[in-house]
Structure 1
Amino acid sequence: MAERITIDSKDGSFGAYVARPGAGFGPGLVVIQEIFGINATMRAIADAFARAGYIAVVPDLFWRLEPGVELIDQGSDLEKAFGLYNAYDEDLGVTDLIAALGAVRQLEGCTGKVGTVGYCLGGKLAYLMATRSDADANVSYYGVGIERNLEEVGNISRPLLLHIAGEDELVAPAARGRILDAVAQNPLITTYLYPGLGHAFARVDGTTYQKEAAELANGRTLTFLSSHLG
Protein backbone atom coordinates (compact mmCIF):
# COMPACT_ATOMS: atom_id res chain seq x y z
CA MET A 1 0.00 0.00 0.00
CA ALA A 2 1.45 3.36 -1.03
CA GLU A 3 0.68 6.87 0.18
CA ARG A 4 2.19 10.35 0.44
CA ILE A 5 3.00 12.15 3.66
CA THR A 6 4.36 15.58 4.60
CA ILE A 7 7.39 15.87 6.88
CA ASP A 8 8.12 19.00 8.88
CA SER A 9 11.66 20.30 9.26
CA LYS A 10 13.02 23.41 10.94
CA ASP A 11 12.95 25.29 7.62
CA GLY A 12 9.64 24.13 6.17
CA SER A 13 7.95 20.94 5.06
CA PHE A 14 8.53 18.45 2.28
CA GLY A 15 6.78 15.46 0.79
CA ALA A 16 7.65 11.78 0.93
CA TYR A 17 6.47 8.59 -0.73
CA VAL A 18 5.49 5.81 1.67
CA ALA A 19 5.18 2.10 0.91
CA ARG A 20 3.75 -0.08 3.67
CA PRO A 21 4.03 -3.83 4.15
CA GLY A 22 0.93 -5.98 3.78
CA ALA A 23 0.97 -6.73 7.51
CA GLY A 24 0.58 -3.01 8.23
CA PHE A 25 3.51 -2.87 10.63
CA GLY A 26 7.27 -3.34 10.67
CA PRO A 27 10.59 -1.54 11.10
CA GLY A 28 10.98 1.77 9.33
CA LEU A 29 13.32 2.53 6.48
CA VAL A 30 14.28 5.94 5.10
CA VAL A 31 15.08 5.28 1.44
CA ILE A 32 17.37 8.05 0.20
CA GLN A 33 17.04 8.98 -3.45
CA GLU A 34 19.60 9.29 -6.20
CA ILE A 35 20.01 12.60 -8.05
CA PHE A 36 16.85 11.90 -10.06
CA GLY A 37 14.24 12.64 -7.40
CA ILE A 38 11.41 10.37 -6.25
CA ASN A 39 11.06 8.76 -9.66
CA ALA A 40 9.64 5.41 -10.69
CA THR A 41 12.91 3.68 -9.79
CA MET A 42 12.87 4.97 -6.20
CA ARG A 43 9.19 4.15 -5.77
CA ALA A 44 9.84 0.61 -7.00
CA ILE A 45 12.72 0.24 -4.53
CA ALA A 46 10.46 1.39 -1.68
CA ASP A 47 7.73 -0.99 -2.81
CA ALA A 48 10.23 -3.87 -2.79
CA PHE A 49 11.32 -3.04 0.76
CA ALA A 50 7.65 -2.91 1.79
CA ARG A 51 7.15 -6.41 0.39
CA ALA A 52 10.11 -7.45 2.56
CA GLY A 53 8.29 -6.16 5.65
CA TYR A 54 9.49 -2.55 6.04
CA ILE A 55 7.64 0.75 6.18
CA ALA A 56 9.70 2.41 3.44
CA VAL A 57 9.69 6.20 3.15
CA VAL A 58 11.37 8.15 0.32
CA PRO A 59 11.77 11.86 1.26
CA ASP A 60 11.99 14.57 -1.39
CA LEU A 61 15.64 15.62 -1.01
CA PHE A 62 15.46 18.45 -3.55
CA TRP A 63 12.47 20.25 -2.05
CA ARG A 64 14.60 23.29 -1.20
CA LEU A 65 15.64 23.60 -4.87
CA GLU A 66 12.66 22.20 -6.80
CA PRO A 67 9.96 20.08 -5.15
CA GLY A 68 8.64 17.01 -6.89
CA VAL A 69 11.54 16.31 -9.24
CA GLU A 70 11.22 13.11 -11.32
CA LEU A 71 14.04 12.47 -13.79
CA ILE A 72 15.75 9.57 -15.57
CA ASP A 73 19.44 8.85 -16.14
CA GLN A 74 19.51 9.90 -19.79
CA GLY A 75 19.49 12.96 -22.07
CA SER A 76 18.54 16.39 -20.76
CA ASP A 77 17.26 14.82 -17.53
CA LEU A 78 20.79 13.71 -16.71
CA GLU A 79 22.13 17.24 -17.19
CA LYS A 80 19.39 18.67 -14.97
CA ALA A 81 20.03 16.00 -12.32
CA PHE A 82 23.71 16.93 -12.09
CA GLY A 83 22.75 20.60 -11.85
CA LEU A 84 20.56 19.83 -8.86
CA TYR A 85 23.29 17.68 -7.35
CA ASN A 86 25.86 20.45 -7.67
CA ALA A 87 23.48 22.95 -6.01
CA TYR A 88 22.47 20.59 -3.21
CA ASP A 89 23.56 21.31 0.36
CA GLU A 90 24.45 17.99 2.00
CA ASP A 91 24.46 19.40 5.52
CA LEU A 92 20.91 20.71 5.15
CA GLY A 93 20.05 17.40 3.55
CA VAL A 94 21.16 15.51 6.64
CA THR A 95 19.02 17.86 8.74
CA ASP A 96 16.03 16.97 6.56
CA LEU A 97 16.80 13.27 6.77
CA ILE A 98 17.02 13.41 10.56
CA ALA A 99 13.57 15.01 10.52
CA ALA A 100 12.40 12.20 8.23
CA LEU A 101 13.89 9.62 10.58
CA GLY A 102 11.90 11.05 13.47
CA ALA A 103 8.73 11.17 11.40
CA VAL A 104 9.08 7.54 10.37
CA ARG A 105 9.52 6.47 13.97
CA GLN A 106 6.16 8.10 14.72
CA LEU A 107 4.27 6.47 11.85
CA GLU A 108 1.48 4.12 12.79
CA GLY A 109 2.73 0.56 12.67
CA CYS A 110 6.42 1.38 12.98
CA THR A 111 8.18 -0.82 15.52
CA GLY A 112 10.46 2.07 16.49
CA LYS A 113 13.55 0.69 14.79
CA VAL A 114 14.43 2.76 11.70
CA GLY A 115 17.33 2.49 9.29
CA THR A 116 18.40 4.19 6.09
CA VAL A 117 19.28 2.92 2.63
CA GLY A 118 20.72 5.35 0.08
CA TYR A 119 21.87 5.28 -3.52
CA CYS A 120 24.43 7.52 -5.29
CA LEU A 121 23.89 10.92 -3.61
CA GLY A 122 21.74 8.99 -1.17
CA GLY A 123 24.63 6.60 -0.59
CA LYS A 124 26.77 9.49 0.62
CA LEU A 125 23.90 10.73 2.78
CA ALA A 126 23.38 7.26 4.29
CA TYR A 127 27.04 7.39 5.33
CA LEU A 128 26.48 10.83 6.89
CA MET A 129 23.39 9.52 8.67
CA ALA A 130 25.64 6.85 10.17
CA THR A 131 28.03 9.52 11.41
CA ARG A 132 25.51 12.17 12.50
CA SER A 133 22.19 10.54 13.43
CA ASP A 134 20.77 7.84 15.67
CA ALA A 135 19.47 5.69 12.82
CA ASP A 136 19.62 2.07 13.94
CA ALA A 137 21.42 0.85 10.81
CA ASN A 138 22.50 2.38 7.50
CA VAL A 139 23.20 1.04 4.02
CA SER A 140 25.07 2.93 1.29
CA TYR A 141 25.07 1.95 -2.38
CA TYR A 142 27.96 3.48 -4.39
CA GLY A 143 28.01 6.71 -2.41
CA VAL A 144 29.71 9.62 -4.15
CA GLY A 145 31.97 11.91 -2.13
CA ILE A 146 32.37 9.82 1.03
CA GLU A 147 36.12 10.48 0.90
CA ARG A 148 35.43 14.14 1.76
CA ASN A 149 34.06 13.16 5.19
CA LEU A 150 36.32 10.34 6.31
CA GLU A 151 37.20 12.25 9.48
CA GLU A 152 33.70 11.30 10.68
CA VAL A 153 34.28 7.53 10.57
CA GLY A 154 35.03 7.53 14.30
CA ASN A 155 31.55 8.89 15.03
CA ILE A 156 29.86 5.73 13.73
CA SER A 157 28.39 3.79 16.64
CA ARG A 158 25.73 1.74 14.82
CA PRO A 159 26.07 -0.70 11.95
CA LEU A 160 26.84 0.59 8.46
CA LEU A 161 26.98 -1.42 5.23
CA LEU A 162 28.83 -0.03 2.21
CA HIS A 163 28.36 -1.39 -1.32
CA ILE A 164 31.29 -0.04 -3.36
CA ALA A 165 31.61 -0.34 -7.13
CA GLY A 166 35.14 -1.32 -8.08
CA GLU A 167 35.17 0.81 -11.23
CA ASP A 168 32.86 3.64 -10.19
CA GLU A 169 33.46 6.42 -12.69
CA LEU A 170 32.28 8.99 -10.14
CA VAL A 171 34.78 7.90 -7.45
CA ALA A 172 38.47 8.11 -8.34
CA PRO A 173 40.58 5.00 -7.57
CA ALA A 174 42.65 6.94 -5.03
CA ALA A 175 39.50 8.13 -3.26
CA ARG A 176 38.11 4.60 -3.24
CA GLY A 177 41.34 3.39 -1.64
CA ARG A 178 41.16 6.05 1.08
CA ILE A 179 37.57 5.09 1.84
CA LEU A 180 38.39 1.38 2.14
CA ASP A 181 41.39 2.08 4.38
CA ALA A 182 39.46 4.43 6.66
CA VAL A 183 36.35 2.30 7.19
CA ALA A 184 38.44 -0.81 7.86
CA GLN A 185 39.32 0.73 11.23
CA ASN A 186 35.69 0.63 12.48
CA PRO A 187 34.33 -2.88 13.25
CA LEU A 188 30.74 -1.64 12.89
CA ILE A 189 31.27 -1.07 9.16
CA THR A 190 30.80 -3.91 6.69
CA THR A 191 32.13 -3.30 3.18
CA TYR A 192 31.48 -5.19 -0.04
CA LEU A 193 33.55 -4.34 -3.11
CA TYR A 194 32.17 -5.24 -6.54
CA PRO A 195 35.20 -5.52 -8.88
CA GLY A 196 34.79 -4.38 -12.44
CA LEU A 197 31.40 -2.75 -11.88
CA GLY A 198 30.53 0.87 -12.54
CA HIS A 199 28.38 3.36 -10.72
CA ALA A 200 24.68 2.54 -10.21
CA PHE A 201 25.06 -1.15 -11.00
CA ALA A 202 21.92 -1.86 -8.94
CA ARG A 203 19.63 0.66 -10.69
CA VAL A 204 17.09 -1.50 -12.49
CA ASP A 205 16.73 -0.43 -16.15
CA GLY A 206 19.62 2.02 -15.73
CA THR A 207 22.37 2.21 -18.33
CA THR A 208 24.90 0.46 -16.05
CA TYR A 209 22.57 -2.12 -14.44
CA GLN A 210 24.11 -5.52 -13.67
CA LYS A 211 21.39 -7.94 -12.64
CA GLU A 212 23.51 -10.58 -10.92
CA ALA A 213 25.50 -8.07 -8.88
CA ALA A 214 22.37 -6.10 -8.01
CA GLU A 215 20.64 -9.21 -6.71
CA LEU A 216 23.72 -10.12 -4.67
CA ALA A 217 23.93 -6.63 -3.14
CA ASN A 218 20.20 -6.49 -2.45
CA GLY A 219 20.28 -9.88 -0.74
CA ARG A 220 23.16 -8.71 1.45
CA THR A 221 21.19 -5.57 2.29
CA LEU A 222 18.12 -7.50 3.38
CA THR A 223 20.21 -9.83 5.55
CA PHE A 224 21.94 -6.86 7.15
CA LEU A 225 18.69 -4.98 7.81
CA SER A 226 17.01 -8.06 9.24
CA SER A 227 19.93 -8.52 11.64
CA HIS A 228 19.86 -4.96 12.93
CA LEU A 229 16.26 -3.78 12.60
CA GLY A 230 14.49 -7.04 13.46
Structure 2
Amino acid sequence: MKRDIQLTTSDQHILNAYEHIPAKPLAGLVVLQEIFGVNPHIRDVCDNFAKHGYHIISPALFDRAERNVSLGYEAEDMKQGIELRKKIEPEKTLLDIIAAAQHLNYDKIGIVGYCWGGSLSWRAATETKLFSAASCWYGAMIPSLLDHPHHCPVQMHFGELDHSIPLDAIEKIERTYNDVDIYVYKNADHGFGCQARASFHKEAYELAQQRTLDFFAKNL
Protein backbone atom coordinates (compact mmCIF):
# COMPACT_ATOMS: atom_id res chain seq x y z
CA MET A 1 0.00 0.00 0.00
CA LYS A 2 1.34 3.40 -1.02
CA ARG A 3 0.01 6.59 0.46
CA ASP A 4 0.83 10.13 1.52
CA ILE A 5 0.38 10.70 5.23
CA GLN A 6 1.09 13.33 7.87
CA LEU A 7 3.34 13.06 10.91
CA THR A 8 3.36 15.20 14.05
CA THR A 9 6.67 15.97 15.76
CA SER A 10 7.38 16.57 19.43
CA ASP A 11 7.29 20.34 18.79
CA GLN A 12 3.86 19.95 17.15
CA HIS A 13 5.05 20.52 13.60
CA ILE A 14 2.92 18.63 11.06
CA LEU A 15 4.79 17.34 8.04
CA ASN A 16 3.94 15.22 5.06
CA ALA A 17 5.50 11.83 4.39
CA TYR A 18 5.40 9.12 1.75
CA GLU A 19 4.64 5.65 3.08
CA HIS A 20 4.85 2.29 1.35
CA ILE A 21 3.72 -0.78 3.29
CA PRO A 22 4.47 -4.16 1.63
CA ALA A 23 2.17 -7.14 2.07
CA LYS A 24 4.43 -8.83 4.64
CA PRO A 25 6.75 -6.22 6.17
CA LEU A 26 9.93 -7.48 7.81
CA ALA A 27 11.15 -4.28 9.45
CA GLY A 28 10.82 -0.50 9.26
CA LEU A 29 13.01 1.75 7.14
CA VAL A 30 13.22 5.55 7.07
CA VAL A 31 14.33 6.92 3.68
CA LEU A 32 15.76 10.44 3.71
CA GLN A 33 15.61 12.73 0.71
CA GLU A 34 18.30 14.62 -1.15
CA ILE A 35 18.03 18.43 -1.34
CA PHE A 36 15.37 17.97 -4.03
CA GLY A 37 12.48 16.94 -1.79
CA VAL A 38 10.43 13.76 -1.74
CA ASN A 39 10.38 13.80 -5.52
CA PRO A 40 9.60 10.97 -7.99
CA HIS A 41 13.13 9.58 -7.67
CA ILE A 42 12.93 9.30 -3.87
CA ARG A 43 9.51 7.69 -4.16
CA ASP A 44 11.02 5.15 -6.57
CA VAL A 45 13.80 4.49 -4.03
CA CYS A 46 11.15 3.88 -1.39
CA ASP A 47 9.22 1.53 -3.66
CA ASN A 48 12.35 -0.48 -4.46
CA PHE A 49 13.12 -1.01 -0.78
CA ALA A 50 9.50 -1.96 -0.13
CA LYS A 51 9.88 -4.75 -2.72
CA HIS A 52 12.43 -6.26 -0.35
CA GLY A 53 9.95 -6.32 2.53
CA TYR A 54 10.57 -3.04 4.32
CA HIS A 55 7.82 -0.78 5.60
CA ILE A 56 8.98 2.57 4.27
CA ILE A 57 8.44 6.11 5.51
CA SER A 58 10.05 9.12 3.81
CA PRO A 59 9.44 12.40 5.67
CA ALA A 60 9.14 15.65 3.71
CA LEU A 61 11.99 17.45 5.43
CA PHE A 62 11.46 20.72 3.55
CA ASP A 63 7.97 21.18 5.02
CA ARG A 64 9.27 23.46 7.75
CA ALA A 65 10.34 25.94 5.06
CA GLU A 66 8.00 25.16 2.15
CA ARG A 67 5.46 22.41 1.58
CA ASN A 68 5.02 20.11 -1.41
CA VAL A 69 8.58 20.57 -2.69
CA SER A 70 9.47 18.20 -5.52
CA LEU A 71 12.45 19.42 -7.53
CA GLY A 72 14.33 18.18 -10.55
CA TYR A 73 18.10 18.05 -11.00
CA GLU A 74 18.96 21.18 -12.94
CA ALA A 75 21.20 23.95 -11.57
CA GLU A 76 18.22 26.09 -10.56
CA ASP A 77 16.67 23.14 -8.68
CA MET A 78 19.90 22.61 -6.79
CA LYS A 79 20.07 26.30 -5.87
CA GLN A 80 16.48 26.23 -4.61
CA GLY A 81 17.09 23.08 -2.57
CA ILE A 82 20.20 24.52 -0.93
CA GLU A 83 18.32 27.70 0.01
CA LEU A 84 15.46 25.71 1.52
CA ARG A 85 17.86 23.60 3.55
CA LYS A 86 19.49 26.72 4.96
CA LYS A 87 16.14 27.91 6.32
CA ILE A 88 15.71 24.88 8.58
CA GLU A 89 17.51 24.36 11.89
CA PRO A 90 19.29 20.96 11.93
CA GLU A 91 17.79 20.20 15.33
CA LYS A 92 14.30 20.65 13.88
CA THR A 93 15.08 18.28 11.03
CA LEU A 94 16.15 15.68 13.56
CA LEU A 95 12.72 15.98 15.21
CA ASP A 96 11.13 15.21 11.83
CA ILE A 97 13.30 12.10 11.47
CA ILE A 98 12.43 10.97 14.98
CA ALA A 99 8.72 11.36 14.21
CA ALA A 100 9.17 9.19 11.10
CA ALA A 101 10.93 6.48 13.12
CA GLN A 102 8.28 6.55 15.82
CA HIS A 103 5.60 6.03 13.20
CA LEU A 104 7.18 2.66 12.37
CA ASN A 105 6.14 0.12 14.99
CA TYR A 106 8.92 -2.46 14.66
CA ASP A 107 11.55 -3.93 16.94
CA LYS A 108 14.21 -2.88 14.43
CA ILE A 109 14.24 0.18 12.21
CA GLY A 110 16.86 1.15 9.64
CA ILE A 111 17.62 4.46 8.01
CA VAL A 112 19.09 5.30 4.62
CA GLY A 113 19.71 8.71 3.13
CA TYR A 114 21.18 10.35 0.05
CA CYS A 115 23.10 13.61 -0.31
CA TRP A 116 21.62 15.82 2.46
CA GLY A 117 19.84 12.72 3.68
CA GLY A 118 23.13 10.83 3.80
CA SER A 119 24.47 13.33 6.31
CA LEU A 120 21.20 13.25 8.23
CA SER A 121 21.31 9.45 8.41
CA TRP A 122 24.66 9.77 10.14
CA ARG A 123 23.23 12.34 12.56
CA ALA A 124 20.33 10.00 13.30
CA ALA A 125 22.80 7.18 14.05
CA THR A 126 24.88 9.33 16.41
CA GLU A 127 22.29 11.62 18.01
CA THR A 128 19.45 9.16 18.57
CA LYS A 129 19.20 5.53 19.63
CA LEU A 130 16.18 4.70 17.49
CA PHE A 131 17.91 2.85 14.67
CA SER A 132 19.42 -0.59 14.27
CA ALA A 133 21.36 0.21 11.08
CA ALA A 134 22.21 3.31 9.03
CA SER A 135 23.34 3.52 5.41
CA CYS A 136 24.69 6.92 4.37
CA TRP A 137 25.10 7.71 0.68
CA TYR A 138 27.44 10.60 -0.24
CA GLY A 139 26.70 12.77 2.78
CA ALA A 140 28.94 15.81 2.32
CA MET A 141 28.46 17.10 5.86
CA ILE A 142 29.58 13.90 7.57
CA PRO A 143 33.27 14.94 7.90
CA SER A 144 32.12 17.92 10.01
CA LEU A 145 29.94 15.71 12.23
CA LEU A 146 32.49 13.46 13.91
CA ASP A 147 31.93 14.50 17.52
CA HIS A 148 29.68 11.64 18.66
CA PRO A 149 29.85 7.84 18.75
CA HIS A 150 27.36 5.97 16.60
CA HIS A 151 24.72 3.86 18.31
CA CYS A 152 24.15 1.31 15.56
CA PRO A 153 26.07 -0.32 12.71
CA VAL A 154 26.83 2.19 9.94
CA GLN A 155 27.97 1.95 6.36
CA MET A 156 28.87 4.83 4.03
CA HIS A 157 29.06 5.13 0.25
CA PHE A 158 31.12 7.78 -1.56
CA GLY A 159 32.16 8.49 -5.13
CA GLU A 160 35.86 8.70 -5.94
CA LEU A 161 35.28 11.81 -8.10
CA ASP A 162 32.97 13.64 -5.67
CA HIS A 163 34.59 17.05 -5.12
CA SER A 164 32.15 17.86 -2.29
CA ILE A 165 33.59 14.93 -0.31
CA PRO A 166 37.30 14.72 -1.20
CA LEU A 167 39.28 11.59 -0.44
CA ASP A 168 41.14 13.23 2.46
CA ALA A 169 37.77 13.94 4.12
CA ILE A 170 36.81 10.29 3.73
CA GLU A 171 40.13 9.29 5.26
CA LYS A 172 39.34 11.55 8.21
CA ILE A 173 36.14 9.57 8.81
CA GLU A 174 38.06 6.30 8.56
CA ARG A 175 40.63 7.47 11.12
CA THR A 176 37.89 8.54 13.54
CA TYR A 177 35.68 5.45 13.25
CA ASN A 178 37.41 2.17 12.48
CA ASP A 179 34.14 0.24 12.84
CA VAL A 180 32.21 2.02 10.06
CA ASP A 181 32.09 0.26 6.69
CA ILE A 182 33.21 2.87 4.15
CA TYR A 183 33.04 2.20 0.42
CA VAL A 184 34.53 4.45 -2.27
CA TYR A 185 33.35 3.77 -5.82
CA LYS A 186 35.86 4.19 -8.63
CA ASN A 187 34.97 6.75 -11.31
CA ALA A 188 31.74 7.66 -9.49
CA ASP A 189 30.71 11.23 -8.71
CA HIS A 190 28.24 12.80 -6.29
CA GLY A 191 24.72 11.47 -6.82
CA PHE A 192 25.92 8.30 -8.54
CA GLY A 193 22.91 6.43 -7.15
CA CYS A 194 20.25 8.62 -8.80
CA GLN A 195 19.09 7.53 -12.23
CA ALA A 196 17.65 11.00 -12.87
CA ARG A 197 21.04 12.72 -12.58
CA ALA A 198 23.77 13.07 -15.19
CA SER A 199 26.19 11.65 -12.61
CA PHE A 200 24.35 8.33 -12.37
CA HIS A 201 26.85 5.46 -12.42
CA LYS A 202 25.09 2.15 -13.02
CA GLU A 203 27.83 -0.19 -11.79
CA ALA A 204 28.52 1.85 -8.64
CA TYR A 205 24.81 2.16 -7.89
CA GLU A 206 24.12 -1.55 -8.27
CA LEU A 207 27.04 -2.50 -6.03
CA ALA A 208 26.17 0.10 -3.38
CA GLN A 209 22.51 -0.91 -3.46
CA GLN A 210 23.34 -4.59 -3.01
CA ARG A 211 25.67 -3.75 -0.13
CA THR A 212 22.91 -1.70 1.45
CA LEU A 213 20.37 -4.49 1.09
CA ASP A 214 22.81 -7.06 2.51
CA PHE A 215 23.59 -4.69 5.39
CA PHE A 216 19.93 -4.26 6.28
CA ALA A 217 19.23 -7.98 5.89
CA LYS A 218 21.97 -8.64 8.44
CA ASN A 219 21.02 -5.97 10.97
CA LEU A 220 17.24 -5.55 10.74
Cα deviations by residue, 1:33-86 (Å, 9 ceiling, x for unpaired):
000001000000000001110011110111110011000111422221121133
Query: Hey, what does 2:137 align to over in structure 1?
Result: 141
CA contact (8 A) 1:22 1:51 kept: no
1:183: how far off?
A: 2.1
Q: Aligned partners of 2:169, 2:75: CA distance in 1, in Å?
A: 28
Q: Aligned partners of 1:99, 1:89: CA distance in 2, in Å?
A: 16
Other structure's SS at 2:58 match:
strand
Q: What does 1:26-175 align with in structure 2 at a 5 Å threshold?
A: 26-105=26-105, 111-134=106-129, 135-152=131-148, 155-175=149-169
Q: Aligned partners of 2:115, 2:45: CA distance in 1, in Å?
A: 14
1:169: how far off?
A: 2.0
Matching residue's letter, 2:14: S
Q: Aligned partners of 2:27, 2:5: CA distance in 1, in Å?
A: 17
Query: Hey, what does 1:108 align to over in structure 2?
Result: none
Matching residue's letter, 1:22: A
Q: Aligned partners of 2:166, 2:85: CA distance in 1, in Å?
A: 18
1:128: how far off?
A: 0.6
Q: Which runs of 4+ in 1 moved over 6 A?
A: none
Q: Aligned partners of 1:157, 1:32: CA distance in 2, in Å?
A: 18
Cα deviations by residue, 1:161-206 (Å, 9 ceiling, x for unpaired):
111222212123432321222122xx2x211111331101001121
Other structure's SS at 2:104 match:
helix
Q: Aligned partners of 2:197, 2:114: CA distance in 1, in Å?
A: 13
Cα deviations by residue, 1:86-107 (Å, 9 ceiling, x for unpaired):
33322221121112111122xx
Matching residue's letter, 1:114: I
Query: Hey, what does 1:182 align to over in structure 2?
Result: 176
Other structure's SS at 2:76 match:
helix
1:123: how far off?
A: 0.2
Q: Aligned partners of 1:192, 1:209: CA distance in 2, in Å?
A: 17
Matching residue's letter, 2:203: E
Q: Aligned partners of 1:74, 1:2: CA distance in 2, in Å?
A: 28
Q: TM-score, normalised by structure 2?
A: 0.94
Matching residue's letter, 1:183: Y
Q: Percent identity?
A: 33
CA contact (8 A) 1:30 1:57 kept: yes
Root mean square deviation, CA, Å = 1.4
1:226 paired with 2:220, answer: no
For the structure 1 residues 4 and 178, does the alpha-carbon distance in structure 2 shift closer, same or farther, using more than 3 Å as the test?
same
Matching residue's letter, 1:178: K
Q: Aligned partners of 2:158, 2:167: CA distance in 1, in Å?
A: 11
Q: Aligned partners of 1:15, 1:112: CA distance in 2, in Å?
A: 24
Q: Aligned partners of 1:183, 1:67: CA distance in 2, in Å?
A: 37
CA contact (8 A) 1:5 1:16 kept: yes
Q: Aligned partners of 1:181, 1:67: CA distance in 2, in Å?
A: 39
1:146: how far off?
A: 0.7
